[in-house]
Amino acid sequence: MSAHRHLPFARRPHHAPVAPDALASMLESPGFGRIFTDHMVTISWSERQGWYDAQLRAREPLTLDPAAAVLHYAQEIFEGLKAYRLTSGGVALFRPEQNARRFQASATRLAMPLLPEPTFLEAIDELVQIDAHWIPPGDGSLYLRPFMFASEPFLGVRPANEYLFVVIASAVGAYFKGGSKAVRVWLSQDYTRAAPGGTGAIKCGGNYAASLVAQAEASKHGCDQVVFLDAVEHRWVEELGGMNIFFVFEDGSLLTPPLGGTILPGITRDSLITLARREGLTVREERYSFEQWRSDAKSGKLREAFACGTAAVVSAIGEVKTTDGHFTIGDGHGGPVTDRLKSKLIGIQRGEVADQDGWVRKVL
């Protein structure tokens, strides 16, 4: 593979960005993924030219041929990361190079071209720098959504030979309605998320498409999220639809299911393992069955459980529902280990807690 060649970014700022007073009212209660900033980045790829035509430009609808391969065979991958305002001023990203590398792993699995890590990071930096004033006041952030899809008009089944890489940004507040209260999760008994040899370890739209019916079932039962079991034995807890899972036991130890090709290697998961171990806590990456989860919750051996991911950071799991009943974890409202790890992670992201690992990357 040829060495990375710097790709020039053409900057074409929006000629009519949202005015300050209108922006202020949009940012009052942004929710999640509904409010988008003025700009986007696009970069094209073709077999002949490689990566070309990098642009920072006004966000607008894309023009797509109806035969574009992504619309038929779902050759699409994405990432999710946040830009935060530091307490001391300035704006930072959290471990963005991990997102760049995972994006490459996703591209490899779906037979797509690899976007060089420096280009991925530059695209993010460009967008954050121009739209940083969209970060809501208080504890809001800019949720960045880099993605890439097959744009070639072709209905044959093979990897496409044209792609578009795009980054958009959304001003966000809390992920779950009701802020940081414990969530209720639904155990999916009919559907699985990922099978061995499949795409569970990468971020592709197809994984989410396949999980939506289970998510709808969860909502129907009054739950916020779905817990998926492994596809082979329907026994081992894997993760939620878009978040990894941790368990906290009475002896203070933690357990999270091991990465093995069917679980998404979350950057939040990895960060929390590091932080917990540094506090002297034991963290096991081991399989945990649903029956064991239920019996440990009932006996009191299990004290806390939480879900984690970039969008919602850390969310205590208070209750688990299945077709044949439900059980609570601890008092149903989270617990001290969940709270402490969450505070520490947010503290590092905001520049309030020492960043011993070089995770925070200032962009402004």
Ligand X SMILES: *Cc1c(COP(=O)(O)O)cnc(C)c1O
Distance CA 46, CA 165 (A): 11
Burial bucket for residue 186 (CB in 10 Å: 0-12, 13-18, 19+): buried
Q: How far is the CB of 268 from ligand X (least distance, A)?
A: 3
Q: Take residue 308 and report the two structure tokens written for it.
A: 């984690």
Q: Take residue 11 and report the two structure tokens written for it.
A: 């900057």
351 binding ligand X? (CB under 6 A): no
Contacts of 25 (CB under 8 A, 6+ apart): none
> Among 37, 151, 225, 244, which residue interacts with ligand X (rule: CB under 6 A)?
244
Q: How far is the CB of 16 from ligand X (least distance, A)?
A: 33
Near ligand X by CB under 6 A, which window of 31-39, 179-187, 235-243, 274-282?
A: 235-243
Asked if residues 314 and 341 have their Cβ atoms less than 8 Å apart, the reply is: yes
Q: Which is nearer to ligand X, 146 or 266 (CB)?
A: 266
Q: Which is nearer to ligand X, 68 or 225 (CB)?
A: 225
Contacts of 217 (CB under 8 A, 6+ apart): 186, 188, 190, 191, 226
- List, as one string, the DSSP characters of 280-328: T--EEE---BHHHHHHHHHHT-EEEEEEEETTTEEEEEEEEEETTEEEE
113 binding ligand X? (CB under 6 A): no
Query: Cα angle vertex 296, ends 294, 302, to 5°?
Result: 115
Q: Which amino acid type is present at position 349?
A: Q
Could you say which residues in the range 71-110 bind ligand X, by CB under 6 A?
A: 80
> Among 96, 116, 140, 242, which residue interacts with ligand X (rule: CB under 6 A)?
242
Q: Which is nearer to ligand X, 153 or 198 (CB)?
A: 198
Near ligand X by CB under 6 A, which window of 86-94, 164-172, 238-246, 340-348?
A: 238-246
Near ligand X by CB under 6 A, which window of 86-94, 156-164, 237-245, 344-352?
A: 237-245
262 binding ligand X? (CB under 6 A): no
Asked if residues 288 and 247 have their Cβ atoms less than 8 Å apart, the reply is: yes
Distance CA 22, CA 139 (A): 20
Q: Which is nearer to ligand X, 80 or 146 (CB)?
A: 80
Q: How far is the CB of 267 from ligand X (least distance, A)?
A: 3
Q: How far is the CB of 201 from ligand X (least distance, A)?
A: 9
Exposed e or buried b for every residue in 91-124, given b needs 16+ CB within 10 A?
Answer: bbbbbbbbbbebbbebbeebebbbbbbebbbbbb
**How many chain residues interact with ligand X (CB under 6 A)?**
13
Interface mask (CB under 6 A) for ligand X, residues 305-344, using x and -? ----xx----------------------------------
Interface mask (CB under 6 A) for ligand X, residues 193-232, using x and -? ----------x-----------------------------
Asked if residues 361 and 93 have their Cβ atoms less than 8 Å apart, the reply is: yes
Could you say which residues in the range 41-60 bind ligand X, by CB under 6 A?
A: none
Q: Which amino acid type is present at position 276?
A: A
Q: How far is the CB of 61 from ligand X (least distance, A)?
A: 25
Q: Which is nearer to ligand X, 252 or 261 (CB)?
A: 261
3-class secondary-structure state, position 53:
strand
> Among 93, 148, 174, 243, which residue interacts with ligand X (rule: CB under 6 A)?
243
264 binding ligand X? (CB under 6 A): yes
Q: How far is the CB of 317 from ligand X (least distance, A)?
A: 14
The one-character DSSP state at 8 is P
Binding footprint of ligand X on the chain (CB under 6 A):
80, 203, 239, 242-244, 264, 266-269, 309-310
